[in-house]
Amino acid sequence: MGGAWRSVLSFAPPMTVSVSPSFASGVQTPSRPQNATITSNSVQATPTGGTPPYRYAWTVTEGDGYPTAPNNALTAFAAQLSSEEEAQGGATVTCTDAMGLTATGQCSYYLYNRSIK
């Protein structure tokens, strides 16, 4: 009696990640000149393809500021700014699926401390 080899292959669809919105901004208007932590609106990373669950890693690639939730799909950007100071930059999210596949998405942000004197 001969045996037959059977091979079962599982293919994960190619993975991509989109970021929405692709631009985040935050402006704070304190009543007097002061240092303040300015935070942008949130951006959402949405992967397609790959194999859930997904892991996220946000990094600022240029400019000042930092992601407020660097390991979540949803984050915002923030910076400590003096009166009339601004920060702008770009960020990348790297999304890794359960099989180790990665995809990246990008966005940009602008933050401004508009003090009223």
Predicted confidence (pLDDT) per residue in 61-85, tens digit? 999 999 999 999 999 999 999 988 9
Q: Is residue 3 part of a domain?
A: no
Low-confidence stretches of the chain (pLDDT < 70) are 1-12, 31-32, 116-117
Cα 115 to Cα 65: distance, rounded to the nearest angstrom = 19
Q: Is residue 88 part of a domain?
A: yes
Q: Is residue 65 part of a domain?
A: yes
Which domain does 98 fall in, by range? 16-113
| Domain total of the chain | 1
Query: What predicted TM-score, i.e. pTM, was given to this entire model?
Result: 0.85
What pLDDT, on a 0 to 100 scale, did the predictor assign at position 115? 77
Cα 9 to Cα 3: distance, rounded to the nearest angstrom = 19
Q: Is residue 56 part of a domain?
A: yes
What pLDDT, on a 0 to 100 scale, did the predictor assign at position 110? 97
Q: Is residue 5 part of a domain?
A: no
CATH of the domain at 99: 2.60.40.60
